[in-house]
Amino acid sequence: MEKKKVLLIAPVFFDYYKAMLMTLEKMGYDAEYLCDAPSNSNVSKAIGRINKKFIYHAAEKYFDEAVRKKVPADRFDIVLVVGGMTFAFTTEMMKQLRQMQSKARFILYQWDSEKNLPYSVGIHPYFDAIYTFDRQDALRDTKYKLLPLFYTDNYKRVSDMEQKDLYDCMYVGTAHPFKYRDINTICESLDVPKDRLYVRHYMPSQLKFWYQKVTSPVFRHAKQAEMCWDKVSEQELMEVMASSKCVLDAPQEGQTGLTIRTIECLGAKRKLITTNPEIVHYDFYDPKNIWVYEDGKALEKDFFVAPYKELPEEIYQKYSIRSWLMTMLRDN
């Protein structure tokens, strides 16, 4: 039986697309990848986030060379678009792609809220199914199907790694203003020695740092010494997670959908402290494992002492990358 062909259009973001492609192949699909933007440079991505019109000509050229000239008509059975802030294809481009792949089922996964992705409304008519990681969007509009993010197989292996009791809490993430502020606020509120905290605020460039200093009041007093200029490798991240009792998490300003780190924490069977109150609505929430931070509310003293509470195996299976993909592709 011939394998079904899937075109995955997704951001380069921390190489999650590689895990998606690998899992699709293991599931029996013939998968190909197309980057969602003409460039993965930090400057290009920043400009596109400010206004996609600024990168229109670059996106048009990229679409012409990567799609119009190279993708044969009706090549794919499924087109899966994982759309986030970097997505650069215009409404007209999606219309053309739909015409070129007229026999394919088009599926959109929104990795951000609609208010942060205003372009998304324009491309919705070209999709047969639309999924979102944002529970509020799904409650507000029935066109969305709620589907939280996933953890990769690597995080499932964290609990099998050598467990070194080095840290009470760990955090690794991009230094978005409110995320940076909230993580620091949590750390200051915890009665934990500094050497028991592993915190890395990733800043992609000096230019981005000074831009944040000028434009964001939250960063007004931020110091370069606080920033991590190189990405923490996934292997190092997993080793630190295996050596930590708890993971810290904070969404970006206005974000209500659960971050991918939240789900990775679940896969790694690690406790979590988060500023996102939405988490209480999910089936893996247990106050023994998850503390929702509120200003002025003290953390229970035995949170770091009590062991992680195991959840039913079906919960862990539900949030794996395989289940995430199966949910969207099961009708194909």
Domain spans of the chain, in order of start: 5-147, 153-318
Cα gap 200→108, rounded to integer Å: 32
| Tokens standing for residue 69 | 């000239």
Q: Is 50 exceeded by the pLDDT of residue 51?
A: no
The helix or strand, by DSSP H or E, that contains position 35, with its residue range, turns out to be: strand 30-35
What number does CATH give the domain 153-318?
3.40.50
Other CB atoms within a 10 A radius of the CB of residue 85 amount to 19
| Tokens standing for residue 283 | 């089936």
Q: Where are the beta strands (DSSP E) in the chain?
A: 5-10, 30-35, 78-83, 105-110, 129-132, 144-146, 167-174, 197-202, 227-228, 244-249, 271-274, 290-292
The helix or strand, by DSSP H or E, that contains position 63, with its residue range, turns out to be: helix 56-63
| Tokens standing for residue 265 | 């924490």
Single out the residue of 55, 56, 34, 57 nearest to residue 45, CA to CA.
55
Q: In what order do the strands lie in the sheet with 30-35?
A: 30-35, 5-10, 78-83, 105-110, 129-132, 144-146
Angle between helices 56-63 and 91-100 (to 10 degrees): 10
Q: In residues, how long is the chain?
A: 332
User: What was the pLDDT predicted at 70?
Assistant: 83
CA distances from 322 to 90, 146, 149 (A): 29, 16, 11
**Confidence band (pLDDT; 50, 70, 90) for 310?**
very high
CA angle in degrees (0–180, nearest 5) for 130-131-134: 130
Average pLDDT over residues 44-72: 69
Kindly give, in sequence order, each residue whose CB lies less than 8 Å from that of residue 65, ignoring residues fewer than 6 positions away: none
CATH topology of 5-147 equal to that of 153-318? yes
Span 225-236, pLDDT tens digits: 999 998 888 889
Architecture of domain 5-147: 3-Layer(aba) Sandwich (3.40)
Cα gap 119→309, rounded to integer Å: 41
Average pLDDT over residues 202-219: 88
Span 77-102, pLDDT tens digits: 999 999 877 787 888 989 999 999 99
Q: Is 50 exceeded by the pLDDT of residue 222?
A: yes
What percentage of the chain has pLDDT greater than the value 90?
55
Q: Whole-number mean pLDDT of the chain?
A: 88
Kindly tell me the sign of the dihedral angle through the C-alpha atoms of 323, 325, 331, 332. negative
Residue type, 148: P
Span 259-275, pLDDT tens digits: 999 999 999 999 999 99
More confident residue, 45 or 247: 247
Q: What pTM value is reported for the model? A: 0.89
Span 98-123, pLDDT tens digits: 999 999 999 999 988 888 888 888 89
